[in-house]
Chains A and B, each alone.
Chain A
Amino acid sequence: MIAAKQLHMTVYASLLAALTAAGAYLAIPIGPVPIILQNLFIFLSGLLLGSKWGVASVGVYLLAGALGLPVFAGGVAGIGRFAGPTGGYLLGFLPAVYVIGWITERTRKRAVSDVLAMVCGSLIIYAFGVTWLKTLTGMTLANTLAVGMYPFILGDALKIAAAVPIAKALRPVINR
């Protein structure tokens, strides 16, 4: 039974990594910066799979990108992306998904705890992304925040709001 459960989790983690890749292609044009669905699926990996399998899912996604499969935003791939200006956000996904999974594993799966977990997750992503962007471009902190964080906050709030009902609908499918 344990092996079967593991196989299911392997397949689900791969599916979420594939969804993240697909989400990097789909952009919803609302507001000045298009909303990219990539981190919605990062949030969902944490919420649905928990810390261990969430990290596995995101790790496979990043590895696929590093090897040059076209899975990052805009279809641009390659190991060079980690050294590029958005590399910090990509690396930040790993600790973020771990923390989201860790929080949901320790709380009753309610909307409030889900939102709390995702807010912590986004803060971690921004901490990594903005620090890296700042060291790479040499901008001041205020400027970096204006470029690399403020435009995305509204989108993130919408994604968090969208992730709650999706997680609620999918948990029964996964935890059968």
Chain B
Amino acid sequence: MAELSAFNFRPGSSVLHGLDVRFKLLFLVLISVTSLKAYPVSLSVLTLVLVAALLHAQRSLKSIFKAFRYLIVLLAFIFFARALSVPGSAVIEFKAVSITREGIYHGAMVCWRLVIVVLTGLAFVSTTRPSEIKAAVEWLLNPFPFIPSKRIATMMSLVVRFIPVIFDQARETADAQRARGVDNRKNPVYRLQKLGIPLMRRTFERADKLAVAMEARCYSENRTDPGLRAGLRDWTALFVVICLCMFIVV
């Protein structure tokens, strides 16, 4: 059984779970775009709001931190790249390299904004069912002619479905190889080859089984999707988010 990754849907009954997907998608775009214009005061407000929303959606602080595990290296890299490259009054100087105050401020701002974007994404993905995402994508692509919106929406929800399957399969294959003593082989090329090719084969075979199963259940592109309904609550939420964004930009 696959361990739930940080970016999986968790059922719940919070306000975020109840909102219309299209509105949530719009909020996602709005908040990501406005965060690019935000400065320390408004960024702190935004962070507090997002963390409160995540806690309300029954996510523990621990699982939020876990989501940032992989991101920390990237953030550190961006921070130092900025700190070293922006000219200004130097704080630390070492030979030709100097870390400037402006650089530190700049780097911190950029990293903070990235954190905001990831928090927003986390709030969206963990409160929205893949089938709802599919319905929203379909609704979004429907007005465009010549785009097979049904098929694209199906593919999108398959992508969301496959990601945990891949990690699950990778762990299974690695376990199987460890049981056969692959640790005794020091050659990294040999080990990658013996891990990579079976892993790819297995995931493709699983995909094949899924396609056969869909076929056996008479999959077709004409099917009923979960209904999208926008109520008073969604419009109120939209109003609140727009106010928040105005506050940030001004």
Contacts and interface: CB of A to CB of B under 8 A. Distances in A.
Interface stretch (A3-11, A93-101, A112-120): A3-11
Interface string A129-146: 000000000000000000
Interface in A48-100: 56, 59-61, 63-64, 67-71, 73-80
A169 B197 contact: yes
B124 interface: yes
A15 B207 CA distance: 7
Interface string B101-144: 00000000000001001101110110000000100010000000
B204 A173 contact: yes
**Interface SS of chain B:** helix
B211 A11 contact: yes
B177 to A, nearest CB: 16
**Interface SS of chain A:** helix
Interface stretch (A18-26, A102-110, A148-156): A18-26
Interface stretch (B26-34, B45-53, B179-187, B229-237): B26-34
B156 A79 contact: no
Chain B interface category by residue count: 35 or more
B163 interface: yes
Nearest to A77: B121
Contacts, number: 135
A99 B122 CA distance: 35
A7 B120 CA distance: 33
Contact of B208 (A8, A56, A75, A76): A8
A15 B121 contact: no
A69 B203 contact: no
Contacts of B215: 4, 7
A68 B140 CA distance: 14
Contacts of B224: none
Contact of A7 (B114, B137, B219): B219
Contacts of A79: 29, 32-33
B193 interface: yes
Which of A10, A25, A166: most chain B Cβ within 10 A?
A: A10
Nearest to B206: A15
Contacts of A14: 154-155, 158-159, 162, 207
Contacts of A61: 159
Contacts of A11: 158, 207-208, 210-211, 214
Contacts of B200: 166, 169-170
Interface in B190-208: 192-193, 196-197, 200-201, 203-205, 207-208
Contacts of B36: 80
A127 to B, nearest CB: 24
A6 to B, nearest CB: 9
Which of B125, B161, B208: most chain A Cβ within 10 A?
A: B208
B159 A60 contact: yes
A174 interface: yes
A11 B167 CA distance: 18
B121 A74 contact: no
Nearest to A57: B155
Interface of A: 4, 7-8, 10-15, 17-19, 21-22, 25, 56, 59-61, 63-64, 67-71, 73-80, 162, 165-166, 169-170, 173-174
19 contacts: A10-B151, A12-B211, A15-B204, A18-B163, A18-B166, A21-B163, A22-B163, A63-B137, A63-B156, A64-B159, A68-B25, A68-B32, A68-B120, A68-B124, A70-B7, A71-B159, A76-B118, A170-B200, A173-B204
